[in-house]
Amino acid sequence: MNVVHGTDHTQTPPSSEEVLIQVEHLQKYFPLKKKKIFGPPEVVKAVDDISFKIYKGETLGLVGESGCGKSTLGRNLLRLQEPTGGKVFLRDVNFTDLSKKELRSYRKHVQMIYQDPFGSLNPRFTVGQVIGEMLTIHKLATGDARTKKIKELLALVGLDPDRIDNYPHEFSGGQRQRIGIARSLALDPEFIVADEPVSALDVSVQSQIINLLIRLKKELGLTLLFIAHGLNVVRHISDRVGVMYLGKLVELSGTDDLFDHPAHPYTAVLLSTVPDADPAARRERIVLKGEVPSPINPPSGCRFRTRCPLATEKCAELLPELEEIRPGHHVACHYPLEEGESLKERISKNDKGAVNL
């Protein structure tokens, strides 16, 4: 029934075959205010029936445009929002079935890093309090042991441990993001969702934080879900990458395979639009017509079909399932691109075909 759970042999194998997180048919619907009294309530399907696995020790990148549901997915994985349907397993524990109380103690295994280094730290707490709060809530350390642990964490993320009594406003954006990372590490989690952790930072600071995340992942053996819209950043840091469009996972594959041989037309378009810092390599962009349709009334069938250069009637009628087309390369498209075939080639091939008919 669900192809994603078939055999997985990714081309760039994750550091272990052990599945840490398993997501099954996850849904998150947001109801809207009723416009008509008797009509059915309208819903925004922010995350619509998504299934995938995250292996222990890997970094899974998640890309997509704003409104595609990538952040919602991240939040629902950690149950910061309650999913409408579906299951999330952490090893063999069904995370979605835990009671509020059980969830609390389980939260220490899963943590989050937020995008906004200004909004995500309480301005009235010192850095020590921001990080130490976690230790207190989970009753892990008190007194001197607590101070020692906080200082260790600060040193770990490259901050001066003596600044433990400073307030967030005394730090720069990059330093604040380091504080946010230290906080997420305070409970020695296994799994971290990083939601656009570098998007709000300047380029030179961005690379510092990327380096820090890569280093921490290696040293602490973390598993990361890295959500971002910057494709170059995601490519750099991820072992595998998932692409989302309008609440659906449309492609999931090893990073090199995805970037070298995108199979979904949407991924191919996304890749062609990245402004690369190399003027010698100015490529021909494939510019999509129109914009992402509203998630309230998404198109029937494949959600990308309204903007897709390859769409046919079949795409309007039948929703493509996420299927494994090559080892470890999953795509939800009726007409996936072959390995080594570019979208441009396919479009011109289709055009010729039309003329011949």
Partner 1 sequence: MEPLLKVENLVTGYRTEQGLVKAVDNISFEVNKGETVCIVGESGSGKSVTSLSIMRLVDFENGEIIDGSIHFQDKDLASLSNEDMRSIRGSKISMIFQEPMTALNPVFTIGKQIMETFYFHRSYSGKKAKQRAIELLELVGINQPEERLKQYPHELSGGMRQRVMIAIALGCEPDLLIADEPTTALDVTIEAQILELLKTIKQEMEMSILLITHDIGVAAEVSDRIIVMYAGKIVEVAPTIELFSQTLHPYTKGLLESVPKMSGERGVELPSIEGTLPGIHSMPIGCRFAPRCHYKTEKCVQVEPPLENHYGHLAACWHAEEVRNGTLEKGETT
Residues in touch with partner 1 (CB under 8 A): 65-66, 172, 174-175, 202-208, 210-211, 214-215, 229, 231-233, 235-237, 255-256, 259, 269-282, 285, 287-288, 291-292
* Phi and psi at residue 203, to the nearest 5°: -55, -45
| DSSP-derived secondary structure letter, 329 | E
Report the candidate in 12, 191, 169 with the shortest Cα–Cα distance to residue 95.
Answer: 191
> Which C-beta is closer to partner 1: that of 67 or that of 86?
67
Q: Which is nearer to partner 1, 111 or 267 (CB)?
A: 267
CA distance 247 to 297: 12
User: Which is closer to partner 1, CB of 291 or CB of 317?
Assistant: 291
Q: 37 or 280: whose CB is closer to partner 1?
A: 280
Alpha carbon distance 217, 213 (integer Å): 6
Report whether 63 contacts 234 (CB < 8 A): yes
Alpha-carbon separation of residue 297 from 42, 303, 305 (angstroms): 9, 10, 14
In whole angstroms, how close is the CB of 37 to partner 1 at the nearest point? 25
CB of 255 to partner 1, least distance (A): 6
Q: How far apart are CB 25 and partner 1 at their closest, in Å?
A: 27
Q: Quote the least distance from Cβ 218 to partner 1, whole Å.
A: 9
Q: Which one, 174 or 336, has the nearer CB to partner 1? A: 174
- The CB-of-304 to partner 1 minimum distance in angstroms stands at 11
Contact (CB, 8 A) for 77 and 23: yes
Q: State which residue, 135 or 270, has the beta carbon closest to partner 1.
A: 270
CB 160, CB 146: distance < 8 Å: no
Helices (H), 226-336: 231-237, 255-260, 265-273, 313-317
> In the bound complex, what is the minimum distance in angstroms from residue 55's beta carbon to partner 1?
16
